[in-house]
Structure 1
Amino acid sequence: MVHPLAVLNRWTARLADPAQEERFLATQLPGLRRDVLLVCVLVLVYNVVFFVVNLLRGPAWGYVGLSDHVLVGSAAVVLAVLVRRTRTYRTTARALVGGFGVYALVALALGGDRTPTGWVLLSLQTAAVLCLHARLPFPVTAALVPAWSVASLLAATTSGVDDRDMATAVALVASVVAVGLSAAHRVATQARLLFARTEELERISTQDPVTGLPNRRAWEAALHREWDRAVRTGGPLGVVVVDVDHFGRLNEGFGHPGGDRALVEVAGLLTAALHRPGDLAARLGGDEFGLLLPGADEVGTEQLAGRLLAAARELRTGAAPGDPVSALTLSLGTHATHPVAGGSAAELVAAADTALYRAKGGGRDQVVGAREV
């Protein structure tokens, strides 16, 4: 298992691998969208309540003093609508930052009066924002949350709040921010570590330890996924089943390290033969490998298998006599079909297996297509 310090920056609470950080953020989109909507509701409720309260008691600055509640409440509604329509994490985060900007500008320009109850509600809003920001990179959290609070406190200084109430408000909001930032850092760290460990376990469970190729579990998942996709699109799907000839003899002659080296060489040949997105090379177990070729018809599948066989022969020819690769030969069976609903991916592989047995029975070191059987 990878050590936590190898995958996480302890200060920023971000994953060290940018691609992995992007994958993590993508998983956070549904939760981020839900939390933004929650904060929008809190902000809207807060401003509606105090709009009504100030309207009933008469705002100190006349009805212009109610404009901050109208603008911030309206901004909360607009932000909620935008977030519901976003499709990516970054778009949602940008909409959120824009909402903070509107809040800060309105609060500083038109800040209305505050009451002790208002400060409590403001602290609850700050706590909600902290919970929301646990889904964001911590540097963003550490910058925006204090900005939220400072803008609110500065707005209050324009409305005649006495020193004692102001000191109480500062202490209350600062406490929430300090405790909340600590908690947000911890939650962000734990969430990313859990994500990294889950990915590592998934990688281990779907990767062959000798060759580094996907294992049978990954092959089966990809096979059924590509079968279903081909059913939808009507495209062809090809498979090549590859077997190392007389692998037991190779192990006996060169030892297990030599046999493992031969398997690694085969894995390299298979990987080099693939050029299109979606193509997959996997070790199915023992001395058997498989190629999954979405979009390849019977002719294309057989041609790729032929190139792979030629590459294996060339590799064998160039190997030194004591090299296990010098005794390496491959037998290959191929099949391709146009998947249809109600069909079976297992039948596709079974047909390629039958062709493989025909290749082995016919002298090995050759390609046989299912249409030849």
Structure 2
Amino acid sequence: MKKRKERVSSESTLSSVVGITAEGSTALTLAASESKAQKDLALVERDALSGIKGRDFDSACGLTETGALIVWHASPILEEMVAHNQLDSKQDPESFRLPATSDIENQRQGPTAQMTNISFMVESSSSARPTVQDDENLRGDFLTLINESNARIMGRYDAHISKLKAENTKSIEELENERERTRILEERLQRELENERTTAAERTRLLEKKLQRELEHEREAAIERTRILEERLQRELENERAAAAERTRLLEKKLQSVEHDREAAIEKTRVLDERLQRESEIAHTTASRNEALKEEIFKLNEELEHGRTDNQALMSDILEKSEELATLKYYSNMLESDKTHLENQVDHLDKELKYARKEHRRYVSKVLDAARAIPNDLEPINSDALPGSRRTSGIC
């Protein structure tokens, strides 16, 4: 907007100068009315100078960056030169010519270009020789003012450029400081991250070491419990076997005495039949629970059949020794009952031993699986191992 105003002001100044020149040329052609032309020219010059000064006041003034008003005085000097040249050229119209095209273009570029680049080519005739020295003086003053204006303008430009350079340098320094702070912050964050990683690795190592120790303790405790259980079961099994062997020996002795007491076999056989019948009924009711008992009952039935066959052969002897046979039958029944009871106990102990070994193998397998699944599955393995240990203690 400011440039446009300056351009309009310069164009108005140029048009005024051209108008003044044209009016001066017209007045000079009227040689018959020289006095009237002088009066008219004086009026025109005064009006033109006042109009030019009023229009060029805005273009000749400018505000600095701090708001101070600077008034340029070069334009009035230029206008006075034009008026003076018009007065000198009133006798010779050809002694004044318009500015060059390049000068007009420079005037359109603004007040600064107008002050620095406008030049007028004034050709003085023989009648204008007395004013050449004045023109030179005016031209020198005009050039001095232009140089001073250029110096002030360049000074402001240099100050503004210096200010921009200082701001740029300050911005670069702030950017470098910010980069340095960012680098320091990144290094500090990197160190903190490394410390966190080291601490986490140390905690993980300590936790794994602790879990390994707990697993070793659990494994040793499980092995010790298994060893104690096996020793206890082994002792109980040995005791049961010794007792069964003793009972078998006594039974064999009793059977030998029964062989010697054939006369009491009839009564004992009858008692044995009744006892075997009851045992058969009991065996049939418990057949679904114990297959081993069925086999023993089958064996007893076979022995009963053999006994019956033997009893038929000994009927004649039994009739003679019924009392001895009854006694023998009673003892035989007792021996068979003891034998059956001992065999049942042996089978029961074998089953308990097998179950204990199975539970032991399962517990050991769980412990090994827990060792391979450290540390995530440690607690579920402990919860599974505790019921097994309670069942093992119940068996013991």
Q: Say which structure is richer in helix.
A: 2
| TM-score normalised according to structure 1 size | 0.19
Q: Say which structure is richer in strand.
A: 1
| TM-score normalised according to structure 2 size | 0.18
